[in-house]
Every structure is written in structure tokens, then in C-alpha cells.
Amino acid sequence: MREHRLPNPGWGPLSALPGNPLMWVLILSELLVFMAFFALYAAERAAQVALFDASQQELDPLMGGLNTLVLLTSGLCVALAVEASAASRLRRARRWLAAAMGLGALFGVIKVLEYASKFAVGITPDTNTFFGFYYGLTAFHFAHVLFGLALLGLVTWRTSLENVETAAAFWHMVDLIWILLYPLLYLLR
Amino acid sequence: MTSLPGTRRLLATWAILMGLTLVSMVSARLDADAWQALPLWSAALVLLATGFKAQRLLMVYLNLRMATPAWKGAFVGLVTLTLALIGAGYLVARLA
């Protein structure tokens, strides 16, 4: 690919990536961090099969599935906000961003309800190794959701194509990690 | 400016992602009354659907389709490796 046709000329090996190159560095590093946690989970599961099987039964995979649908739809709204920004339709972009934030908040509400139902029956991060991973991984992801919501709020205020594209990339990364987390914790039993 | 996916492609991708999520949930037999371990083919289907979802999200939502083959390969490879780790951990636990 010739240098002048690259999306980000002057960024060395990152020149060929669309959007903000630094966001891709963050996406790559976050994926590696979560991959390390997933590997740890896999190793612990192999060592404590009965405990992980019994504990997994306490989770509600339908709630997890619902949250997957909500987050992926929120990702669509953010992608449509980027399209609208690129067409200089900033009011429309803000509307899509607001819809994405609404769905992100709904994800949070479902997650909090899920946590509350576990705490109500005495299941905490200290219960056992499985729930240590469950709370640790989902809360770490939830922290990313909250940061992503703040970022979307910020670019709704300061709307430009570059800002919306950067926030959208972060939000899609949050989506991507949840896509991997959902089968690991809820579905593969 | 990078060429964006376009509304039609985004909507088609969203429909695929929704469909694959439902396929995963059905494959994981969430309709079963009692808890039971999944047959290996069901687990494989869940992982395949997840891998395809991640690939679509990277290529369309994150617009990685506009990057060089090296970057596309790197990210798809990383996701594949992650899913291989998840699958291997599951398989070791199931066959133990």
C-alpha cells in the first residue's frame, strides 16, 4: 500500500490502521490482558472441574445473552454515529450516541441486577475460585463499560468525526471482550 | 478519511451478530430443564459462532477491513488464539 493512501500516514507500522492508531494500541493491549485472564481461568477450571461445574449452574445464561444482544445493538448505534459524523450530520450522530449510551446503561442495569441476585443468596467474590473469576472478569469489563459511557458522553458534547471514531473504537473493544467473555463464563459447561 | 462500512453493511452485520448470539444460546441448550454438560459438537458450535462474531465485529464495526492483511491477520489470529485457549481449557476439563 502506498504511503499517501494509508489511513494514518506518519504512524509507522500503525499507519495502515483505520481511526486513531493509539486506540488500536489500547485494543491490542486490552485483548492481551483479557487473554491472560482467560488462560488463567482455563487452567483453574481444568484443576477444579466439579467446583466450576457446580458454580456455573448458579449463573443465568439468559441474562448474559440478553446483555450480549444489548451491547451489540449499542455497538451498531455507535457505528451509525460514526457514519453520521462522516456525513457532517452531527445532530443525527448525537442521537445515535444517545441511543448507544442508553443501551450501555441498560447493560449496566442488567449486570447490577445479576450481581444483586447473587449477593442476595450469599454468593460473593470470596465464595470460591469460580466466583472470584466471575466477579473479577465481569467487574473489570463493567469498569470498561462505565469508562466507555463517559467517553461517549464526552464526544456527544464535543462531536467531531475524529472524536466519535475514537470513542467508537473503544466501545467496540468493550463489545469484543464481552463476546469472548460470555461463552467462557455462561455457555461452555 | 478512511472509507466507512456504510449503513447497509452495518445493519447486515448487526443482524448476523444477533443471529449468531441466538445460535450460541440454542447450541448451549439453554432451554434444557436440568443442568447438563454440553455435547462436544455444541461446545464447538458455540466457539465457532463466537469466532465468527468477533471476526465480523473487527472487520465491520471496527472497520479493520480497511487495514493491511498483516494487521487483519494479527487481530484475527489473536482472537483465534484466545478462543483456542478457551476451547482447550474447556476440553481438558470435560475429558478429565
Q: What is the span of the domain harbouring residue B44?
A: 7-95
Determine, for residues A183 and B79 on separate chains, whether the beta-carbon distance falls below 8 Å. no
State the pLDDT at residue B23.
93
Above 80 in pLDDT, residue A1? no
Determine, for residues A42 and B10 on separate chains, whether the beta-carbon distance falls below 8 Å. no
CA end-to-end span of chain A: 45
Q: How far is A76 from chain B (nearest CA, A)?
A: 6
Q: Which of A42, A76, A188 sits opposite B10 (nearest CB)?
A: A76
Q: Pinpoint the alpha helices (H) of chain A.
A: 21-47, 49-56, 61-86, 90-120, 129-157, 161-182
**CA A153 to CA A146: how far, in whole Å?**
11
Q: In this structure, what C-alpha cell is assigned to residue B81?
A: 488464539
Number of domains in chain B: 1
**CA A188 to CA A42: how far, in whole Å?**
11
Q: Assess if residue B38 is contained within a domain.
A: yes
Q: Where are the domains of chain A?
A: 20-187
Mean pLDDT of A52-64: 92
Measuring CA to CA, which residue among B17, B72, B85, B66 is closest to residue A188?
B85
State the pLDDT at residue A2.
47
Determine, for residues A38 and B63 on separate chains, whether the beta-carbon distance falls below 8 Å. no
Mean pLDDT of B55-69: 93
Mean pLDDT of A106-129: 97
| pTM, full prediction | 0.93
Residue with the larger pLDDT of the pair B96 and B11: B11
Q: Assess if residue B2 is contained within a domain.
A: no
Could you identify the residue written with the cell 490502521?
A17
DSSP B20-50: HHHHHHHHTTTT-SS--PPPHHHHHHHHHHH
A6 confidence band (pLDDT: 50, 70, 90): confident
Measuring CA to CA, which residue among A147, A141, A137 is closest to residue A175?
A141
Q: How far is B89 from chain A (nearest CA, A)?
A: 4
Quick check: A178 and A139 in contact, CB under 8 A?
A: no
State the pLDDT at residue B2.
66
CA atoms within 13 A on the CB side of A187: 33
Highest mean pLDDT among A49-53, A55-59, B49-53: B49-53
Could you identify the residue written with the cell 486490552?
A30
Which residue from A minimizes the CA distance to B51? A180
Quick check: A171 and A180 in contact, CB under 8 A?
A: no
Report the residue count for chain B. 96
Q: Assess if residue B23 is contained within a domain.
A: yes
Measuring CA to CA, which residue among B60, B40, B53 is closest to residue B80?
B53
Could you read off the pLDDT of B5-61 as tens digits, one per residue? 999 999 999 999 999 999 999 888 776 667 788 899 999 999 999 999 999 999 999
Residue with the larger pLDDT of the pair A18 and A23: A23
CATH class of the domain comprising A20-187: mainly alpha
Determine, for residues A69 and B24 on separate chains, whether the beta-carbon distance falls below 8 Å. no
The rounded mean pLDDT for chain A is: 93
Q: What CA dihedral angle connects B26, B28, B30 and B35, to 10 degrees?
A: 150
Measuring CA to CA, which residue among A26, A65, A35 is closest to residue A172?
A26
Determine, for residues A187 and B46 on separate chains, whether the beta-carbon distance falls below 8 Å. yes
Quick check: A49 and B96 in contact, CB under 8 A?
A: yes
List of chain A residues whose C-beta atoms are within 8 Å of the C-beta of residue B24: 65, 182-183, 187
Above 90 in pLDDT, residue B96? no
Q: Which of B63, B85, B88 sits opposite A19 (nearest CB)?
A: B63
